Amino acid sequence: MEAKKEATTLSSMSNMPLGRVEPDTSRGGTASIGKAVKIAGQIYSKEDLYVDGDVEGTIELLDHKLTIGPNGKVHAGVKARELVALGSIQGNVEASERIEIRKDARLVGDIKTARIVIEDGAYFKGSIDIVKTEPKVAPSQPPRPQPPPAAPVTAPLVATANTADAKH
């Protein structure tokens, strides 16, 4: 796939090798893709992500929240803990906790989630599967002391794509 970067408003994308996007987790905030940015490829994030630009490919934020801003145009399969859509999404969406489709948003695709909120005025075409999440069972015995954590995982946000065309 090809990655096209038309502007550098992807907040976590400074000083990194091409094809590998690492958000600035020290800020503990949300990575964002600005409205002048277009990405074709795979996005994998370990922090919340705000997309107000164009994304084509796949987006995975398994334990985090994805927000598609009002200018966002996503043509991708999406997996996240939570999704809030204000812009446009074309593709299948899986959210383990919740999906919100706001007024004026547009979602075309099949949805799998535990909870869904659809505001009046939103456009939705597709199917909705409500998946019951299993409640977490409390351990019967006190937890054992944990070994020290492994080396920190890098690349919380990875754009895996052939970035030969990406120009700064």
Partner 1 sequence: MLSDRLRNFWNGGGAPVNAGPPRPVNSSRLVARPPRGEVEETRISRGLDQFFGSFRDQSGLSILDLGGACQENVNFITTLGHKFYSEDFLRIFEETFDDIADQSNSRRIDSFLRRSLEYPDEQFDGVLAWDALEYMEPALLAATVDRLLRILKPKGYLLTMFHSSERKAMVSCYTFRIQDPRTLQVTQHGERAAAQRLFNSSRLEKLFQKFESVKFFLARDSLREVIVRK
Using CA atoms, how far apart are residues 28 and 135, in angstroms rounded to an integer?
28
Q: Which is nearer to partner 1, 12 or 88 (CB)?
A: 88
| In the complex, least distance from residue 128 CB atom to partner 1, rounded to whole angstroms | 4
Using only C-alpha atoms, the chain has a radius of gyration, in whole angstroms, of: 17
| In the complex, least distance from residue 130 CB atom to partner 1, rounded to whole angstroms | 4
Q: Which is nearer to partner 1, 39 or 84 (CB)?
A: 84
* Closest CA relative to residue 101, chosen from 81, 116, 91: 116
Residues that bind partner 1 (CB under 8 A): 101, 116-120, 122-130
| In the complex, least distance from residue 129 CB atom to partner 1, rounded to whole angstroms | 6
Strand 158-160 to 38-44 pairing: antiparallel
Exposed/middle/buried for residue 12 (C-beta within 10 Å: 0-12, 13-18, 19+): buried
| In the complex, least distance from residue 76 CB atom to partner 1, rounded to whole angstroms | 20
Using CA atoms, how far apart are residues 124 and 105, in angstroms rounded to an integer?
8
Q: Which is nearer to partner 1, 61 or 105 (CB)?
A: 105
| In the complex, least distance from residue 87 CB atom to partner 1, rounded to whole angstroms | 17
Q: Which is nearer to partner 1, 7 or 130 (CB)?
A: 130
- Which of the 8 DSSP states describes residue 4? -
Q: Which is nearer to partner 1, 129 or 165 (CB)?
A: 129
Under 8 Å between Cβ of 60 and 80:
yes
Using CA atoms, how far apart are residues 75 and 166, in angstroms rounded to an integer?
19
